[in-house]
A and B are shown apart, each in its own frame.
Chain A
Amino acid sequence: TQLLEQSPQFLSIQEGENLTVYCNSSSVFSSLQWYRQEPGEGPVLLVTVVTGGEVKKLKRLTFQFGDARKDSSLHITAAQPGDTGLYLCAGRAYNTNAGKSTFGDGTTLTVKP
């Protein structure tokens, strides 16, 4: 059973459209991170959310952490081709071995000009 269910797995949209990526779990997380990975590079941290109900904004990206700290979402407004990449949510659940970050399956986003 996947601890973090991420959806959708693939997303192809036109420049200017909005999109939301979801990350859901039945476990409670002490913190949750969102990363973006471009081809040939390692994942780069976008944001960490810690508090239930927290909302963080990073330019056109809005991140939410669920009140119960079991789910999170990433919303991109007016997507641009530069947003293309693999988006990963990851976190450490309270009931897992310390040191193990659980990753969602990732969302491959393609933004067409």
Chain B
Amino acid sequence: DTEVTQTPKHLVMGMTNKKSLKCEQHMGHRAMYWYKQKAKKPPELMFVYSYEKLSINESVPSRFSPECPNSSLLNLHLHALQPEDSALYLCASSTRDSGGTYNSPLHFGNGTRLTVT
């Protein structure tokens, strides 16, 4: 079992819907990530949170809105998505080294399979 838990596992939503993806980890990691992955492709970074603050936004459209309520939780709010946004959305976490770097590996959840109709 993965130590990063994502819910829901599957989500089907219409283009006018509002939904949220949730991610939780209790490993004490202070860096958390959202990735988008298409079939047989590598994960593409969307957002990075460090100590509950957004540190990287990879020019993601505003219809994706991340939120980090505390050190264990990460949400991704979805609104007015397009069919091409259908993908596997992966949450990951990692420690930050004492020097403030991110050299530790990523721990991934099993993802939310999102289908936009």
Contact = CB atoms under 8 A, between A and B. Distances in A.
Interface stretch (A53-61, A74-82, A97-105): A97-105
Interface of B: 2, 4, 31, 40-43, 45, 48, 50, 55-56, 90, 92, 100-111, 113
A108 interface: yes
A98 B100 contact: yes
Given A99-B31, A104-B42, A105-B41, 17 more contacts: A30-B103, A33-B105, A35-B106, A35-B108, A40-B110, A42-B2, A43-B106, A43-B108, A44-B108, A45-B106, A45-B107, A48-B105, A92-B103, A97-B56, A98-B102, A100-B56, A101-B106
Contact of B48 (A44, A48, A90, A99): A99
A88 interface: yes
A69 to B, nearest CB: 12
A73 interface: no
Interface of A: 30-31, 33, 35, 40-45, 48, 50, 86, 88, 90, 92, 97-101, 103-106, 108
Q: Which secondary structure dominates chain B's binding surface?
A: loop
B106 A90 contact: yes
Contacts of A97: 56
Contacts of A40: 110, 113
